[in-house]
Chains A and B, each alone.
Chain A
Amino acid sequence: MGSSPAETRRISSARPRPSAAGREPETFREPETFREPETFRTAGPSGTSGISAITRASGTAGTGMLPVLPALRGLLPRGGLARGSVVTVAEFGVLALALLAAASAAGAWCGIAGIPEAGVLAAVGLGLDAERTLLVPDPGDAWPQVVASLIDGCELVLLRPPGRAPAQVRQRLEATLRRGRGVLLVAGDWPGAQVRLRVVTQGWTGLGDGHGRLRACAAEVVADGRGEAATTRTRWLWRPGEDGSVTVADPAGIPVADRPLADIPAAETVRRLRVVNAG
C-alpha cells in the first residue's frame, strides 16, 4: 500500500545497504544502526560514543523526532517527540505508556525508572516492545545517575522522580539528553520541559451499577509548553478504546450519561465525565 522509498529500501534486503548519509530520518528500525563494536577502551565513562554514532548513522542530527501514535500527534509540536527534549505527563498512566509505544514499536529502546506499577501489558497492547524495555523500578537516591545511564542506552526514558528534582540535577540530565539525542518523559513536574501534557477530564463506558465491565475511557488531554509548544492544544482521546488502543475521540460522539443518546443503553454511556486535573 503505497510504500515510501524508505520502506522499499528496508524490505529489499538483497540490495546493498544505503550509505549512512543517504538514510531518511527515523530509520531506527534498522537494528544495525544500534550495533557498535565491543570496545570498552574507546567508550568514555559517560559512554556516549555509541549515541553519537547512531545520530550520525540515522542522519537525525538537528531535526530528529521519535514517532508517537497517530492519535497523539496533534498534541505535540511537529507531531512527535523531539530528540533531546523533556516531555512531561502530569501523572503516570496509560497516556505516558502510550507516548512510548510508537517509538518502541519502531525499534527504540525504552527505559522506565521509578515506576514499579507500570502496566506492561497495557503498554504492550499499545505497541511497546517488551523485549526492548528496561525497568528500573526503584532507582532510589541515585536516580539522577540511573537516568543518565539509561539515557546513554535508550532513546526514550520514562521517569517518575521521587520528588522535585533540584535545578542542578535537571540541568545536568538535560545536557546528557541533548548530547545523547534521546527523549526524557517525566511523569510529574519538570520545570523547563518543552511539552507538558495532562488529562483534564475522563470518563468510562461499559460499567453500570453492579453490571457490565470497563470498556473504554474517553479523556480530554491538554498540551502546552515552551517555544513552539506554547500554544495550548486540546484533544479528546479514547484512552484506551475498546480494543486497548489509543485513538482520537470525537467529543460530539462520546456518549455521556448526562446527555443520553437515544439508542445507547445506559451502561454503554460514559458515566459522569470528571475533571481530574484542572491544574
Chain B
Amino acid sequence: MRARRPDALVPETPRIMVLRCPGLCDLAAPGPQAAELFEQVIAAVTGFCPQVEAVEPGVCAFGARGPARYFGGETALAGRVIAAVAELGLEARAGVADGLFAALLAARGAGRDPVLVIPPGRTAGFLARRPVSVLEDQDLAGLLTRLGLRTLGDLAALPAGDVAGRFGPAGETAHRLAGGRGSPPLVAAPPAEDLSVAREFDPPEPLAEPVVFAAKALAEQMHDGLAARGLTCVSVQIQATWADGRESRRLWRHDGLLSAAALAGRVRWQLDGWRVPADGTDTSDGGIAVLRLVPDQVILATGHQLALWGEAMVSDRVARAAMRVQAMLGHEAVLRPVPGGGRDFAERVTLVPFGEKTEPRLAAGPPWPGRVMGPAPGVVYPFAREADVTDEAGAAVTVTGRSVVSAAPAWLAIDRERPRRVTGWAGPWPLSERWWDPVAARRRARFQLLTDDGRAWLAAVQDGRWLIEAGYW
C-alpha cells in the first residue's frame, strides 16, 4: 500500500534520535567535570553520526535515518550508542521519533527499557497523550491547564488560527509541536570548524568591481564547503577590512538560500554604502585589504529551499534598491508592511525587514472584538504620544473602572504642544486585552476626539494616562 503518491515529494519529517544521560543532566549546575564527560559522550556518538548537536546539558541529538540504515535499524543503533556511552561509565537513555520535540520526550519517557522508538507516523499519537506540562513554556502550559486543555492532543485538536490568535506566537509554536509538526531543523551550532572563507587583497583593492567579482568566487567556495557537510546557511556576515585598518561588518539574513550571485550583490551594496560618507565628501580609505564571508546561521540542508525572496514577485530592481538602503542603514531599516489581525491600528500592521518572510504577527482570521469602527486613520503613531485631556474647569478627565467619564473633555494637549480646544468627542469604548497573560494584559478606554483645527484623534486612557494612538487626517 505504500505506493508513491504526489505528496511523496514533500520532505519527510526527519527521524531524530535523542540520547539522554540522566547522570549529567540532573545536576543542578553542571560543573566542568560534567561538561568534560559530556564532551566525551558527544565524541563517542560522533562515531555513529558525524552531525551531533548538544541540546542541553547531558542531552544530544542527531539525525537517525542514515546511521540506522547502516547499523541495522533504529533500535539496534540506539543499543550500540548506549553501549558506547556505557564504556565511559555513564548510563544513557535513547528516544527516536519524527522530529526533535517528540524524540526528546521519548528519551525522557524511556523506562526500564533504555530505548523508546516511536515508529514513523505514530508521533502525533504518542504526543497526544502527553500532558501540556511537557511544553517548555511553563506559563503557557499552566494557562492551558486552567483552560481545561490538559494534553497535547487537546491542544492539537484546536484550529491553528484560533490558537495563534489567542496565545500569540508561543501558542502557535506549542500547537505545531503538539501536532508533531515543525520541529526546527537541528542547528549544528557552534560549527566545530571555521566555515568562513576569506580573500586577501595585496595591494589593497581600491575599486569595488574586483572585490565584488572575488566575492562571487568566495561565496561559491563557502557554499561548496557547507554543502560538502550537508549544511546550508540562512545568514551570512560580510566583513571587509580596509587598508587603513577599519573594519566593517554586516549580517545578511535570508529565508531562502543566499546564492553566490545574491551574496556578491550584497557585497557590492555594502561597499557602496560604506563608500558614501554621511557628509558627502570623498575619503581615501586605501581600498579593501581583506574580504571575509562568515556563515552565521547554519542549518542542515533539507533539500527544499524557499524561493529567493519568499515570494517571486519582488523584482531584482526593487531588491537592489532595498538592499542598497539596507547596506547603508542596516537590515532592519527597510521594512515591508504586512496587514494582519489585532485591535490597535499599530498592531494590525506587522513590519517585516526586507528579505524576510512576510507573515503578520497576529492572524487576520479570528474576529477582533473591540476594534475601533469607521475609517482607518492616516496617521498611526508607532509609539503612542502622551497627552493631557482636561475638562472646562482645567481638571484632568478620568475614566472609572465602569467606564464613566469624570467630565466632558474640553482641552487636548499633546506632548508639549499648544493645547487644542476639543469640539467633539465620543467614548469611552473599553477594551480589555490578553486577560490571560498577566504581563501583556492591558485595560484601556478609547475615545475619539475632534479639535478646533479640524483634526480628529484616536485617544486611549490606560493606567490613568491619556495616550494619542492615531490621527485622522
A and B form one complex = yes
Sample of 8 more A-B contacts, CB < 8 Å, known A47-B317, A138-B329, A217-B456: A34-B317, A36-B316, A93-B471, A117-B380, A145-B276, A152-B320, A202-B473, A209-B424
A188 to B267, CA, bound (A): 35
User: Which residues from A are CB-within-8-Å of B452?
Assistant: 272, 274
Chain B residue total in the interface (Cβ 8 A): 67
Stretch with Cβ within 8 A of B (4 or more), from A16-24, A60-68, A119-127: A119-127
Cβ of B183 within 8 Å of any chain A Cβ, yes or no, is no
User: Which residues from B are CB-within-8-Å of A190?
Assistant: none
Q: Is the CB of B375 within 8 A of A134?
A: no
Could you pull out 15 A-B pairs where Cβ atoms are within 8 angstroms?
Answer: A40-B212, A45-B208, A93-B379, A94-B473, A117-B382, A118-B379, A119-B345, A119-B380, A135-B351, A136-B333, A139-B325, A207-B425, A214-B448, A271-B423, A272-B423
**Contact residue among A31, A135, A152, A272 (Cβ-Cβ distance under 8 Å from B321):** A152
User: Which residues from B are CB-within-8-Å of A121?
Assistant: 339, 345, 348-349, 376, 380
**Which of A92, A111, A118, A121 has the largest number of chain B CB atoms within 10 A?**
A121
A43 to B372, CA, bound (A): 47
A240 to B378, CA, bound (A): 9
- Give the secondary structure class of A's interface: mixed
Q: Is the CB of A125 within 8 A of B375?
A: yes
Interface residues, chain B, with chain A CB atoms under 8 Å away? 208-209, 212, 261-262, 264-265, 268, 272, 276, 278, 311, 313, 315-322, 324-325, 328-329, 333-339, 345, 348-349, 351, 354, 358, 372-382, 405, 408, 423-427, 448, 450, 452-456, 470-473
Q: Is the CB of B376 within 8 A of A244?
A: yes
Q: Is the CB of B321 within 8 A of A216?
A: no
Give the contact-size bracket for chain A: 35 or more
User: Which residues from A are CB-within-8-Å of B374?
Assistant: 206, 213-215, 242
> A135-B337, A207-B424, A276-B455 given as contacts; is B375 within 8 A of A45 (CB)?
no
Q: Which chain A residues numbered 187 to 227 have a C-beta less than 8 Å away from chain B?
A: 199, 201-204, 206-217
Q: What's the least CB distance linking A36 to chain B, in Å?
A: 6
User: Which residues from A are CB-within-8-Å of B339?
Assistant: 120-121, 124, 130
Q: Which chain A residues numbered 156 to 192 have a C-beta less than 8 Å away from chain B?
A: none
Interface residues, chain A, with chain B CB atoms under 8 Å away? 31, 34-38, 40-41, 43, 45, 47, 50-51, 54, 91-94, 96-97, 109, 111, 116-125, 130-142, 145-146, 149-150, 152-154, 199, 201-204, 206-217, 240-242, 244, 271-276
**Contact residue among A117, A142, A210 (Cβ-Cβ distance under 8 Å from B276):** A142
User: Which residues from A are CB-within-8-Å of B380?
Assistant: 117-122
User: Which residues from A are CB-within-8-Å of B325?
Assistant: 136, 139, 146, 149-150
Q: Is the CB of A50 within 8 A of B316?
A: yes
Q: Is the CB of A120 within 8 A of B375?
A: no
A211 to B427, CA, bound (A): 7
Q: Is the CB of A149 within 8 A of B324?
A: yes
A101 to B116, CA, bound (A): 59
Q: What's the least CB distance linking A144 to chain B, in Å?
A: 8
Q: Is the CB of B454 within 8 A of A273?
A: yes
A96 to B471, CA, bound (A): 14
Q: What's the least CB distance linking B258 to chain A, in Å?
A: 13
A154 to B278, CA, bound (A): 23
User: Which residues from A are CB-within-8-Å of B382?
Assistant: 116-117, 137
Q: Is the CB of B473 within 8 A of A93?
A: yes
**Contact residue among B335, B351, B379 (Cβ-Cβ distance under 8 Å from A119):** B379
A131 to B313, CA, bound (A): 9
Q: Is the CB of A274 within 8 A of B453?
A: yes
User: Which residues from A are CB-within-8-Å of B354?
Assistant: 134
A69 to B334, CA, bound (A): 27
Q: What's the least CB distance linking B59 to chain A, in Å?
A: 42
